[in-house]
């Protein structure tokens, strides 16, 4: 197995074209996966993937930023961003110091604390393919619609929109991968729910955006007496986890969802 | 392959395989104060500071750590001249079997370097990746607070 | 606070600074040149015969030196249990067998120049299995038609109940009084079935052993063990070499909690080293520790109690089924302990019956684990009395205070139930359980919370629960500890003890005891422990014996040294020894005030006249096992929508006699308590239908870390035990016995549901809540 130390993203992308070559940004995904079938590892630490900047419309985060670095960067730029909540408690301190945005997107483990919030935010990813870097919505990347998927993820663009946010997860103990997690973004305006996004991760389809529920809630008054969710809109199911039944996970998700909505809606009234 | 590292302010060069973790390379080359408790990034016994950042050395590939600064618990102090954090752990009764101790001390060092007066919540979060099965953590929290106080008083 | 100079003070643990500075050596830190590395191959089947093993492909790999299995290793039956000789556990294990009995059982061992090569070689070993029907349900183990795990060569070295042909690894039966009459006299009965689940010790240091040779060709085993002397004896027997040719050393060890009271890896490293005349080392991975090392024995306890309307228990009937897994290590003793440590607590019950069986199943193997059966039986006991108190309209705290054993009292159980043989009669000399209950109740705010169903938040319900327990201090008449000391010319002493410090701090505590007798600072005692060549015998660290038993040996030894000091001083001071006493490292004449320092005494004894080395040794066997007592209180918040249970405050109040080192005693209680809480709420072995553990890593076997810890309060009440060194009893295990029951009782207090099967996961709690609503 060979190690490569490219100095530009284009060079890295070229090397990654070949069969059996994998990128390594320092995260834990590679060690979990093991080294079988890997002919070459592309060390990304020489590339400038830890940049971050923002303008009125977008926040850019380099894919090489670790969870800890992302939290620190966003805390200065965008202090109520949902990503700060979700990433600051993911895994544990020494792991947050290594897990990278790019690695997490590429691996998308079932239990990611990153993907749900990114999806809810409407993030776009930047990938270096053959020549010019491409940029497209995260969902399209996950759906595999671009063959450049094979390239190198170099950054994330997040629409710089001021949402109210809520993030919840179900874990067995604090240092645990979440059995499921829920991201809620809310835009209140003139006493009603102007816009809302709800994403749940950990389901049998990995990640669900609860569009039906969103539509149900849009334009409802913030002061609505009771936020009980119609069962038919809870379109998600869970796989069996070690020692936990799908039925329980569905129940817990429903409770968490109700609590999250209640908290975020009530919270935006004040 | 060969790689150089600066470990506890000393330049070292080792031969290792490209799939070796930093933990393996450190332990094979005499840094046995870095402990192996699980190999899964879950227990924190193996943490070191990599360019000043707390990481699980079992989750770092040695090949990607070449040229970097590594600090193990021995880099903070030794038996003749211990670091205040090391002394605080001993004084507070926070050391039972001690297998988690090097990791806990480095996590504490990492915390106090950035935050010299941490709240209880911040202490818990900083140590959240270090498992201790002996102490129930109570005296470890005492040790961190004691170290923080002593280090603040000295400044 | 204390009238002593060293005892009762939280002296800094003697090795803590060396550990904190990374200077301490654990077994895997020792490096030997030319060392062979061993990797074990494990069975993928729960039950199978091995028809043959083809290992040529692996043998041919460069760097592979040997492959061991049943075809090339002599079959010597033994038990891996680290116990006194002859062991009360059956000899049902051998290094390699032509039969595997659980997923994770040993099959073959590779010895290679490096661990990497050894690991690679594993895949080249081809094993021809004949699959046998597996047995997973312990309730079915002894039924006719169930697969039988062990054959004729398994036997029990002691004359105890052992019937492997029906998968019975041990049986205990005790009774007194008249059960029929007892139940007839009862106004009410409560009968429930309680379970305790399998768990792993999760000591941070995985099991590790290394065998090498000294310059004379003797075998030296450095190992992470609780029982160095038992290791030596067992390895000698298995290898058929004299014990005098083996030296066993325990260096720093990274925790044990009972999991290293086994002779697990040592036979393998010793065998390979002896055969190839090269050092050999074996370290388990964390995954291997879960299944190849030992576990807590799962229990099913059916408890039936008859009682009167005033709460008097007229009949107490306990039927226990212990699942010992594939081998019977500690099968009899853990089972007995479930009775012997719990039944005496309410000693006024006239009609008692305890029947227990340990049975084989094709599952990982149980062993010693802090609490040692008492944890499991106290879970049953403490919930049952909570129910009885409630049913009879009594305050549980007053109820316990009314019925528990008191100073001056005894229980028939002490006499009847020992460890593999009869027990030892004893009377309680010290018990401050009432004070533990009172102080603990105050600390948790018992009366402010109990039965009030307080709601800290809309969907959170708060409750409090209590659990009491007693344990023991060493095993009377069976276990022995010894110590030796010699003096140095600076007035310091070398203390050698076989006693095994697991991180518990026994090196420190024993030094304090010696220092107290000799009136010197603890720093003047230089302790060396757990080296079978250099330190005298000690059974090892188990049964909560180190402070009480080894401590007594140290005290006796130090007292002998005192006499020698007085003797030499009497000639130096021209005084009668009756007029002399030890004071702060010198000997002083009471009448004329003249004194001579320890340094002067020793220099004189070594060099000047009538020269001799001031030295002594002493052994101790305890004639009783005075129990520590504990009251533990849990305050929990139950989320009634998700079923999640959070402990918000946990209080442990203990009577451990005099705490030789309060901080270390607190440390034992705190560690055991947190272990107990995480055992109650989230630890479990999850198996697939083929008997394979599917959560064998910290990814999915969850234990508490710093952010999970509730507020913990530890109270050590003032007490003193006359038979213990300076009044001490034990404290290391007892903290494990209360949390599961205290939490279960607190959950009932909060939401009115009874849980009989830990861990109390949110799913289980929710289901119980839903079932209750349906009622």
Please say whether the beta carbons of C220 and C214 come within 8 A.
yes
| C700 vs A: CB within 8 A | yes
Alpha carbon C390 to its chain centroid, in Å, reads: 33
- The interface pTM score, or ipTM, of the predicted complex is 0.98
Which residues does chain B have within 8 Å of residue A2's beta carbon, measured at their own beta carbons? 18
Which residues contact residue B127 at a Cβ distance below 8 angstroms, ignoring those fewer than 6 apart? A93, B104, B107, B108, B111, B137, B140, B144, C705, C706
To the nearest whole Å, the CA of A119 is away from the closest chain B CA by 27
Strands C246-249 and C219-223: parallel
Please say whether the beta carbons of C280 and C211 come within 8 A.
yes
Q: Is A185 helix (H, G, I), strand (E, B) or coil?
A: strand
To the nearest whole Å, the CA of A148 is away from the closest chain C CA by 33
Report the C-alpha gap between C464 and C631 in whole angstroms: 13
Report the C-alpha gap between C193 and C659 in whole angstroms: 37
Q: Flag whether A36 is in a domain.
A: no
Which residues contact residue A40 at a Cβ distance below 8 angstroms, ignoring those fewer than 6 apart? A1, A2, A3, A4, A15, A18, A20, A21, A22
> Is residue A96 located within the same domain as residue A182?
no
What pLDDT does A106 receive? Answer: 87
Report the C-alpha gap between C761 and A174 in whole angstroms: 14
> Is residue A188 located within the same domain as residue A142?
no
> Is residue A117 located within the same domain as residue A102?
yes
| C25 vs B: CB within 8 A | yes
Q: Which of A92, A175, A248 sits opposite C763 (nearest CB)?
A: A248
Most B CBs within 10 A among A93, A97, A100, A172, hence the mutation to make, goes to A93
Q: Flag whether A63 is in a domain.
A: yes
Report the C-alpha gap between C281 and C278 in whole angstroms: 10
- Name the strand (E) or helix (H) holding A158: strand A152-159
Report the C-alpha gap between C741 and C274 in whole angstroms: 49
Q: Which of B91, B97, B128 sits opposite C253 (nearest CB)?
A: B97
Which of C736, C731, C374, C329 is closest to C545 using CA atoms? C731
Alpha helices in B29-95 (DSSP H): 84-91
Which residues 702-741 on chain C approach chain A with CB closer than 8 angstroms? 702-705, 707-708
Is pLDDT above 70 for B26?
Answer: yes
Q: What is the CATH number of the domain that holds A218?
A: 3.30.390.50
CB pair distance less than 8 Å for A175 and B129: yes
Using alpha carbons only, what angle is made at residue C329 by residues C328 and C334, rounded to the nearest 5 degrees?
A: 100
To the nearest whole Å, the CA of B55 is away from the closest chain A CA by 4
Q: Flag whether A146 is in a domain.
A: yes
Is the bond leading into C247 cis (omega within 30 degrees of zero)?
A: no
Which residues 621-650 on chain C approach chain B with CB closer than 8 angstroms? none
Q: Flag whether A11 is in a domain.
A: no
CB pair distance less than 8 Å for B129 and A98: no
Report the C-alpha gap between C368 and C543 in whole angstroms: 9
CB pair distance less than 8 Å for B93 and C10: yes
Structure tokens at C416: 């009847």
Is pLDDT above 80 for A144?
Answer: no
Which residues does chain B have within 8 Å of residue C21's beta carbon, measured at their own beta carbons? 73-74, 77-79, 82, 86
Strands B69-71 and C36-42: unpaired
What pLDDT does A140 receive? Answer: 86
**End-of-domain residue from the set A130, A159, A188:** A159
Q: Which of B19, B64, B128 sits opposite A93 (nearest CB)?
A: B128
Residue the block writes with tokens 């070295």? C157
- Name the strand (E) or helix (H) holding A52: strand A52-54
What pLDDT does C96 receive? Answer: 98
What pLDDT does A29 receive? Answer: 85
HEC states along C166-231?
Answer: HCEEEEEEEEECCHHHHHHHCCEEEEEEEEECCCCCCCCCCCEEEEEECCCCCEEEEECCCCHHHH
Give the residue on C whose Cα is nearest the Cα of B76.
C21
Which residues contact residue C480 at a Cβ distance below 8 angstroms, ignoring those fewer than 6 apart? C537, C538, C539, C549, C619, C620, C621
- Give the number of C-alpha atoms closer than 13 A to the C-alpha of residue B48, restricted to the C-beta side: 33
Alpha carbon A239 to its chain centroid, in Å, reads: 20
Please say whether the beta carbons of A159 and A187 come within 8 A.
no
CB pair distance less than 8 Å for C642 and A173: no
Alpha helices in C417-505 (DSSP H): 433-444, 446-449
Q: Which CATH fold topology does C16-24+480-621 show?
A: Aldehyde Oxidoreductase; domain 4 (3.30.365)
What pLDDT does A270 receive? Answer: 58
CB pair distance less than 8 Å for B132 and C204: yes
> Is residue A224 located within the same domain as residue A148?
no
Is pLDDT above 90 for A154?
Answer: yes
> Is residue A216 located within the same domain as residue A143?
no
Please say whether the beta carbons of A193 and A166 come within 8 A.
no
Q: Do domains C16-24+480-621 and C299-475+624-774 have the same CATH topology?
A: yes
Report CA-CA distances (Å) from C339 to A115, C174, C318.
53, 9, 9
**End-of-domain residue from the set A159, A193, A228:** A159
What is the average pLDDT across A99-127?
A: 92
pLDDT tens per residue, range C334-378:
999 999 999 999 999 999 999 999 999 999 999 999 999 999 999
- Give the number of C-alpha atoms closer than 13 A to the C-alpha of residue C269, restricted to the C-beta side: 31
Which residues does chain C have within 8 Å of residue B40's beta carbon, measured at their own beta carbons? 286, 697-699
Report CA-CA distances (Å) from C341 to B123, C310, C381, C389, C613.
39, 26, 11, 22, 44
Q: Is A191 helix (H, G, I), strand (E, B) or coil?
A: coil
Q: Which CATH fold topology does C299-475+624-774 show?
A: Aldehyde Oxidoreductase; domain 4 (3.30.365)
Query: Whole-number mean pLDDT of chain B?
Result: 97
Q: Flag whether A256 is in a domain.
A: yes
To the nearest whole Å, the CA of B139 is away from the closest chain C CA by 7
Which of C763, C747, C659 is closest to B93 using CA atoms? C659
Which residues does chain A have within 8 Å of residue C761's beta carbon, measured at their own beta carbons? 172, 243-244
What pLDDT does C1 receive? Answer: 46
Which residues 25-54 on chain A approach chain B with CB closer than 8 angstroms? 26, 28, 30-31, 35, 41, 43, 45
pLDDT tens per residue, range B28-76:
999 999 999 999 999 999 999 999 999 999 999 999 999 999 999 999 9
Residue the block writes with tokens 């049998």? A204
| A206 vs C: CB within 8 A | no
Q: Flag whether A16 is in a domain.
A: no
To the nearest whole Å, the CA of A223 is away from the closest chain B CA by 33
> Is residue A108 located within the same domain as residue A173?
no
Choose the CATH number for C31-132+207-283 among 3.90.1170.50, 3.30.70.260, 3.20.20.80, 2.60.40.10: 3.90.1170.50
Please say whether the beta carbons of A105 and A63 come within 8 A.
yes
Domain ranges, ordered by start, for chain C: 16-24+480-621, 31-132+207-283, 299-475+624-774
Q: Say how many CB pairs under 8 Å bridge B and C.
A: 181
What pLDDT does C2 receive? Answer: 60
User: Which one-letter DSSP state was computed for residue C661?
Assistant: S
Phi, psi (degrees; rounded to nearest 5) at A130: -75, -45
Q: What is the CATH number of the domain that holds A133?
A: 3.30.465.10
Report the C-alpha gap between C44 and C128 in whole angstroms: 12
Residue C687 CB burial class (10 angstroms; 0-12, 13-18, ≥19): middle
Report the C-alpha gap between C328 and C349 in whole angstroms: 32
Which residues 58-77 on chain A approach chain B with CB closer than 8 angstroms? 68
Report the C-alpha gap between A149 and A40 in whole angstroms: 18
| A92 vs B: CB within 8 A | yes
Q: Which residues of chain C have pLDDT under 50?
A: 1
Helix axes B138-154, B84-91, angle to 10 degrees: 140
Domains of chain B listed by start with CATH number: 2-74 (3.10.20.30), 84-154 (1.10.150.120)
Domain, as residue range, for A81: 46-159
CB pair distance less than 8 Å for A173 and C763: no
Q: Say how many CB pairs under 8 Å bridge A and C.
A: 41
Q: Is C130 helix (H, G, I), strand (E, B) or coil?
A: strand
> Is residue A149 located within the same domain as residue A53?
yes
> Is residue A104 located within the same domain as residue A181?
no
Rounded to a whole number of angstroms, the CA Rg of chain C reads: 27
Q: Flag whether A114 is in a domain.
A: yes
To the nearest whole Å, the CA of C66 is away from the closest chain B CA by 23
What pLDDT does A147 receive? Answer: 58
Q: Flag whether A13 is in a domain.
A: no
Which residues contact residue C29 at a Cβ distance below 8 angstroms, ignoring those fewer than 6 apart? B32, C251
Report the C-alpha gap between C489 and B10 in whole angstroms: 41
Alpha carbon C607 to its chain centroid, in Å, reads: 46
Most B CBs within 10 A among A30, A94, A113, hence the mutation to make, goes to A94
Domain count, chain A: 2
Q: Is A53 helix (H, G, I), strand (E, B) or coil?
A: strand
Q: How confident is the model at residue A232 (pLDDT cuts 50, 70, 90)?
A: confident
Structure tokens at C668: 């034992």
């Amino acid at each position: 197995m060979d190690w490569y130390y490219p100095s530009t993203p284009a060079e890295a992308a070229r090397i990654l074209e070949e069969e059996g070559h994998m990128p390594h940004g320092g995260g834990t995904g590679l060690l979990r996966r093991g080294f079988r079938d890997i002919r070459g590892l592309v060390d990304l630490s020489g590339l400038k993937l830890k940049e971050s900047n923002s303008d009125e419309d977008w926040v850019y985060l380099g894919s090489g930023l670790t969870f800890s670095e992302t939290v620190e960067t966003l805390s200065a730029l965008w202090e109520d961003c949902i990503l700060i909540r979700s990433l600051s408690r993911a895994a544990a301190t020494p792991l947050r110091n290594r897990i990278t945005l790019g690695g997490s997107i590429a691996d998308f483990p079932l239990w990611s604390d990153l993907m749900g919030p990114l999806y809810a935010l409407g993030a776009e990813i930047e990938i270096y393919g053959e020549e010019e870097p491409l940029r497209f919505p995260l969902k399209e990347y996950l759906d595999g619609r671009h063959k450049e998927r094979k390239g190198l993820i170099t950054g994330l663009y997040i629409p710089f929109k001021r949402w109210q946010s809520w993030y919840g997860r179900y874990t067995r103990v604090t240092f645990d991968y979440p059995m499921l997690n829920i991201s809620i973004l809310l835009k209140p305006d003139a006493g009603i729910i102007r816009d809302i996004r709800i994403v749940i991760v950990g389901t049998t389809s990995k990640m669900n955006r609860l569009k039906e529920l969103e539509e149900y809630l849009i334009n409802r008054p913030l002061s609505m007496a009771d936020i009980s969710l119609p069962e038919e809109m809870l379109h998600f199911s869970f796989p069996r986890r070690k020692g936990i039944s799908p039925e329980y996970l569905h129940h817990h998700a429903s409770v968490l969802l109700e609590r999250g909505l209640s908290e975020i809606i009530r919270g935006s009234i004040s | 392959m060969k790689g150089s590292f600066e470990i506890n302010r000393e330049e070292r060069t080792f031969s290792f395989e490209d799939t070796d973790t930093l933990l393996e390379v450190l332990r094979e080359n005499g840094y046995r104060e870095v402990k192996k408790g699980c190999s899964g990034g879950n227990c924190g016994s193996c943490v070191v500071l990599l360019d000043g950042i707390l990481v699980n050395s079992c989750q770092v590939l040695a090949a990607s750590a070449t040229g970097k600064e590594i600090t193990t618990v021995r880099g903070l102090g030794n038996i003749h001249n211990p670091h205040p954090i090391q002394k605080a752990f001993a004084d507070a009764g926070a050391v039972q079997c001690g297998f988690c101790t090097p990791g806990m001390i480095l996590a504490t060092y990492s915390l106090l370097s950035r935050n010299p007066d941490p709240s209880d919540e911040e202490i818990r979060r900083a140590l959240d990746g270090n498992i201790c099965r002996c102490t129930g953590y109570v005296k470890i929290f005492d040790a961190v607070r004691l170290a923080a106080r002593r280090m603040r008083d000295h400044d | 606070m204390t009238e002593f100079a060293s005892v009762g003070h939280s002296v800094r643990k003697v090795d803590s600074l060396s550990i904190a500075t990374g200077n301490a050596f654990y077994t895997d830190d020792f490096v030997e040149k030319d060392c062979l590395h061993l990797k074990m191959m494990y069975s993928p089947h729960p039950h199978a015969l091995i028809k043959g093993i083809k290992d040529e492909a692996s043998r041919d790999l460069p760097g592979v030196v040997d492959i061991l299995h049943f075809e090339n290793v002599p079959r010597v039956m033994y038990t891996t249990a680290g116990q006194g000789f002859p062991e009360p556990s059956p000899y049902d294990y051998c290094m390699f067998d032509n039969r595997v009995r659980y997923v994770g059982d040993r099959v073959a061992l590779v010895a290679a120049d490096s661990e990497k090569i050894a690991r690679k070689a594993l895949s080249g070993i081809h094993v021809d299995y004949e699959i046998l029907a597996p047995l997973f349900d312990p309730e079915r183990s002894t039924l006719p038609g169930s697969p039988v795990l062990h054959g004729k060569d398994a036997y029990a070295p002691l004359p105890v109940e052992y019937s492997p042909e029906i998968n019975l690894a041990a049986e205990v039966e005790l009774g007194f009084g008249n059960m029929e009459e007892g139940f007839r006299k009862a106004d009410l009965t409560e009968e429930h079935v309680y379970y305790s689940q399998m768990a792993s010790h999760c000591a941070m240091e995985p099991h590790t052993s290394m065998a090498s040779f000294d310059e004379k060709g003797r075998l030296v085993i450095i190992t992470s063990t609780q029982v160095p002397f038992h290791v030596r004896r067992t390895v000698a027997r298995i290898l058929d070499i004299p014990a005098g040719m083996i030296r066993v050393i325990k260096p720093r060890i990274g925790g044990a909690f009972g999991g290293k009271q086994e002779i697990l890896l040592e036979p393998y490293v010793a065998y390979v080293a002896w055969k190839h005349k090269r050092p050999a080392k074996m370290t388990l991975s964390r995954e291997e520790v879960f299944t190849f090392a030992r576990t807590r024995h799962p229990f099913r306890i059916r408890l039936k109690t008859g009682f009167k309307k005033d709460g008097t228990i007229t009949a107490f009937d306990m039927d226990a089924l212990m699942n010992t897994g594939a081998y019977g290590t500690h099968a009899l003793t853990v089972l007995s302990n479930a009775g012997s440590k719990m039944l005496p607590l309410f000693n006024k019950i006239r009609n008692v019956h305890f029947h227990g069986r340990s049975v084989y199943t094709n599952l990982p193997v149980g062993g010693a684990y802090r609490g040692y059966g008492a944890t499991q039986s106290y879970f049953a006991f403490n919930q049952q009395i909570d129910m009885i108190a409630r049913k009879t309209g009594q305050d549980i705290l007053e109820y316990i205070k009314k019925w528990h054993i008191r100073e001056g009292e005894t229980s028939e159980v002490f006499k009847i139930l020992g460890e593999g043989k009869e027990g030892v009669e004893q009377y309680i000399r010290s018990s401050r359980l009432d004070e533990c209950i009172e102080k603990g109740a105050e600390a948790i705010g018992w009366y402010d919370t109990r039965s009030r169903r307080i709601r800290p938040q809309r969907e959170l319900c708060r409750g409090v629960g209590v659990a009491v327990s007693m344990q023991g201090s060493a095993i009377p008449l069976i276990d022995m500890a010894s110590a030796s000391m010699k003096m140095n010319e600076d007035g310091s002493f070398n203390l050698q003890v076989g006693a095994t410090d697991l991180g518990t701090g026994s090196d420190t505590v024993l030094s304090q005891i010696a220092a107290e007798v000799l009136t010197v600072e603890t720093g003047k005692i230089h302790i060396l422990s757990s080296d079978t060549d250099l330190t005298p015998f000690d059974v090892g660290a188990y049964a909560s014996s180190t402070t009480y038993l080894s401590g007594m040996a140290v005290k006796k030894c130090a007292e002998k040294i005192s006499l020698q000091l007085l003797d030499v001083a009497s000639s130096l001071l021209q005084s009668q020894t009756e007029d002399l006493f030890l004071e702060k490292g010198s000997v002083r004449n009471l009448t004329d005030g003249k004194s001579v320092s320890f340094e002067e005494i020793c220099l004189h004894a070594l060099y000047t006249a009538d020269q001799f080395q001031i030295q002594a040794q002493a052994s101790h066997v305890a004639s009783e096992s005075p129990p520590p007592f504990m009251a533990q209180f849990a305050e929990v918040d139950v989320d009634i929508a998700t079923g999640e249970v959070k402990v918000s405050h946990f209080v442990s109040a203990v009577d451990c006699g005099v705490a030789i080192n309060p901080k270390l005693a607190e440390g034992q209680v705190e560690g055991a308590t947190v272990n107990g809480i995480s055992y109650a709420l989230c630890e479990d072995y999850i198996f697939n239908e083929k008997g394979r553990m599917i959560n064998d890593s910290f990814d999915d076997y969850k234990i508490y870390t710093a952010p999970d810890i509730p507020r913990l309060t530890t109270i050590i009440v003032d007490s003193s035990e006359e038979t213990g060194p300076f009044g001490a009893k034990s404290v290391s295990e007892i903290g494990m016995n209360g949390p599961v029951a205290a939490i279960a009782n607190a959950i009932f207090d909060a939401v009115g549901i009874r849980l009989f099967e830990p861990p109390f996961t949110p799913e289980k709690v929710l289901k119980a809540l839903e079932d209750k609503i349906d009622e």
